Amino acid sequence: MSEDTILLAGGGIAGLTAALALQRRGRRVVVLEQTARIGNVGAGITLRETASRSLYSLGLKDRLDATSDKPRPGAALDYRTGAPLAGSLGQRNWVATDFADVHMLHRADLFRLLKDAIDAHDPHAVQLDSRVTAFTQDDEGVTVTLADGRSLRGAALIGCDGLRSAVRGLLFGEAAPRRTGIVAYRFLVPLEQARPYAKALGMSVGPRASLSRYLIQQGTVVNCVAFAHGVDITEEGWNRHATRAELLDLFAGWHEDVIGLASCAPLETTACWALYDRDPLQTWVRGRVGLLGDAAHPVLPFLGFGAALGIEDAIVLARAFEAKVDPAEALKTYEAARRDRANAILLESRRQGEIFRAGPDGASDIPPHERESRAPYDPLTAAL
Ligand code: FAD
């Protein structure tokens, strides 16, 4: 392997986008992914404008348009009556034209289009069953050790290995993330079944939970994400499934459309995902090793911005590697360009979660001028 290769630990949305962005700027990359298959499937994702435009810049606009849905007119709905809400949460009611570059799609489709584009540059760039366990660095490069004993040498290592990042732990010796006591329930209902309960889509905030639902896969599937507090679940991932009783209990007293949707949730693929939090880090980089995506800034999902931040990171990282010859300098440049925005959105997401937790009669929504997530931003032109 060439000493110029950039090694990326983790083939999630952030790692794959970073790999592709670096390839597009002429760099050789290797993505080391611990699992045997790319892509945590089973749920939809909303890509904010900054993420969509970043992916357009990587040549993915046509495929993104072909595989995703645009937001339809939606509303913040009263959890009991299903009627559009008044008050500050009601200000969230939106129309489709507000979000021309927002895409809503199945995660599996997003992974597929990223992986295909990477493979077209280099079919060996993504290496599966490759768990990073250690690294050393010197003046010339980084040596990464994998769980199976293999080692690889490259110019730099980017830890894109998520909330429980091994690279972050090795760099900064951090403890485990904090449990929030909030659980995300994620499920997909085919529209065929959901039609009677999908007259209005959008978000409802109730006393113990909030629920967002939107259409994906050319309007054929309703993606549902509920955030519930006071649920005693600690697992993350796709292995802990909800029971029907659990779902119906969560939405007891809610509007019949919500109860109908919960009654249709396919239990074998309805994941309960405990949410964990970390404080912002003031540095993501040491020498030739840096962090990107959730590994650098694990954003709670209340704004639906975590993947977008990872995608923005990817574009800025690739620009920094193009601008600076020395990998350590490139990483410092990347960090300086990204840290304040990502950390501000991490804290904003946490605050948004507290507002949802306060329930329908609780705290006012965050005013737009206090939201970094609404500030104009373009990772393609942001100052380096
Ligand atoms: P991850 O997705 O965690 O990927 C890390 C990868 O690294 C994994 O493939 C893992 O297997 C691999 N890995 C881990 N350790 C190692 C190792 N030691 N060696 C090698 N590989 C390793 N964001 C949005 O923008 N829009 C949304 O609508 C949205 N909705 C969300 C809803 C929910 C319920 C949740 C929980 C999150 C949501 N997010 C959303 C956030 C988004 O999913 C994450 O921010 C994003 O997926 C993080 O991507 P990542 O690549 O940084 O990390």
DSSP 174-200: --PPEEEEEEEEEEEEEHHHHGGG-SS
Determine the Cα angle at 219 with ends 216 and 221, to 5°.
Answer: 60
User: How is residue 129 written in tokens?
Assistant: 């069953």
Quick one: which atom of ligand 1 is closest to the CA of 309?
Answer: 25
Ligand 1 contacts CB of residue 82 (under 6 A):
no
Determine the Cα angle at 338 with ends 110 and 312, to 5°.
Answer: 20
pLDDT digits (tens, 9 = 90+) for 216-233: 998 999 999 999 998 888
Q: What pLDDT is recorded for position 86?
A: 65
pLDDT digits (tens, 9 = 90+) for 195-215: 999 887 888 888 889 999 999
Determine the Cα angle at 7 with ends 105 and 326, to 5°.
Answer: 115
Q: In terms of pLDDT, which residue wins out, 208 or 328?
A: 328
Considering only CA atoms, which of 291, 329, 339 is closest in space to residue 159?
291
Please tell me the distance from the alpha carbon of residue 60 to that of residue 255, in angstroms, as a whole number.
39
pLDDT digits (tens, 9 = 90+) for 291-319: 999 999 999 999 999 999 999 999 999 99
Average pLDDT over residues 95-118: 86
- Claim: this prediction has a pTM higher than 0.75: yes
Q: What pLDDT is recorded for position 231?
A: 85
Q: At what angle do helices 327-357 and 306-323 cross, to 10 degrees?
A: 170
Report the residue among 7, 40, 45 best suited for mutation to probe ligand 1: largest number of ligand atoms under 8 A from its CB. Answer: 45
Q: What percent of the chain has a predicted confidence (pLDDT) above 70?
A: 95
Instruction: Note the residue count of the chain.
Output: 384
Q: What pLDDT is recorded for position 87?
A: 55
Please tell me the distance from the alpha carbon of residue 276 to that of residue 131, in angstroms, as a whole number.
22
Ligand 1 contacts CB of residue 78 (under 6 A):
no
Please tell me the distance from the alpha carbon of residue 309 to that of residue 162, in angstroms, as a whole number.
13
Cα separation of the two ends of the chain: 29
Beta strands at 44-47 and 132-137: parallel, antiparallel or unpaired: unpaired
Ligand 1 contacts CB of residue 39 (under 6 A):
no
Considering only CA atoms, which of 168, 354, 188 is closest in space to residue 271?
188
Give 170 Cα–ligand 1 centroid separation in angstroms.
19
Please tell me the distance from the alpha carbon of residue 18 to that of residue 43, in angstroms, as a whole number.
22
Q: What pLDDT is recorded for position 22?
A: 98
Asked if residue 343 has pLDDT above 90, the reply is yes
- The DSSP 8-state label assigned to residue 84 in this structure reads B
Ligand 1 contacts CB of residue 38 (under 6 A):
no
pLDDT band at 98 (very low <50, low <70, confident <90, very high): low
Q: What pLDDT is recorded for position 73?
A: 65
Please tell me the distance from the alpha carbon of residue 338 to that of residue 310, in angstroms, as a whole number.
10
pLDDT digits (tens, 9 = 90+) for 345-383: 999 999 999 888 887 777 677 888 889 998 899 999 999
CA 293 to chain CA centroid, Å, is: 8
Task: List active site positions.
Answer: 214
Q: What pLDDT is recorded for position 230?
A: 85
Residue 126: Cβ-neighbour burial (10 angstroms; 0-12, 13-18, 19+)? buried
By alpha-carbon position, which residue is closest to atom 18 of ligand 1?
Answer: 132
Give 116 Cα–ligand 1 centroid separation in angstroms.
19
By alpha-carbon position, which residue is closest to atom 47 of ligand 1?
Answer: 307
On whether the CB atoms of residues 227 and 220 are closer than 8 A, the answer is: no
pLDDT digits (tens, 9 = 90+) for 240-274: 889 999 999 999 999 999 999 999 999 888 989 89
On whether the CB atoms of residues 314 and 292 are closer than 8 A, the answer is: yes
Ligand 1 contacts CB of residue 50 (under 6 A):
no
Q: What is the number of alpha carbons within 13 Å of residue 42 lying toward its C-beta?
A: 19
User: How is residue 188 written in tokens?
Assistant: 């997909």
Asked if residue 72 has pLDDT above 90, the reply is no
pLDDT band at 76 (very low <50, low <70, confident <90, very high): confident
Average pLDDT over residues 160-169: 97
Please tell me the distance from the alpha carbon of residue 89 to that of residue 376, in angstroms, as a whole number.
22
pLDDT band at 179 (very low <50, low <70, confident <90, very high): very high
Please tell me the distance from the alpha carbon of residue 276 to that of residue 160, in angstroms, as a whole number.
17
**For residue 19, what are the β-bridge partners?**
none
Average pLDDT over residues 66-79: 82
Please tell me the distance from the alpha carbon of residue 262 to that of residue 198, in angstroms, as a whole number.
12
Q: What pLDDT is recorded for position 37?
A: 92
Q: What percent of the chain has a predicted confidence (pLDDT) above 90?
A: 74
Which segment of 24-28, 185-189, 196-200, 214-218 scores lowest on mean pLDDT? 196-200
Asked if residue 77 has pLDDT above 80, the reply is yes
Q: What pLDDT is recorded for position 92?
A: 52
Give 199 Cα–ligand 1 centroid separation in angstroms.
31
Please tell me the distance from the alpha carbon of residue 338 to that of residue 377, in angstroms, as a whole number.
11
By alpha-carbon position, which residue is closest to atom 38 of ligand 1?
Answer: 301
Ligand 1 contacts CB of residue 131 (under 6 A):
yes
Please tell me the distance from the alpha carbon of residue 292 to that of residue 317, in angstroms, as a whole number.
9
Please tell me the distance from the alpha carbon of residue 23 to that of residue 17, in angstroms, as a whole number.
10
The neighbour count for residue 230, using CB atoms within 10 Å, is: 10
Q: What pLDDT is recorded for position 237?
A: 79
Q: What is the number of H-type helices and E-type strands within the chain?
A: 11, 17
Asked if residue 94 has pLDDT above 60, the reply is no
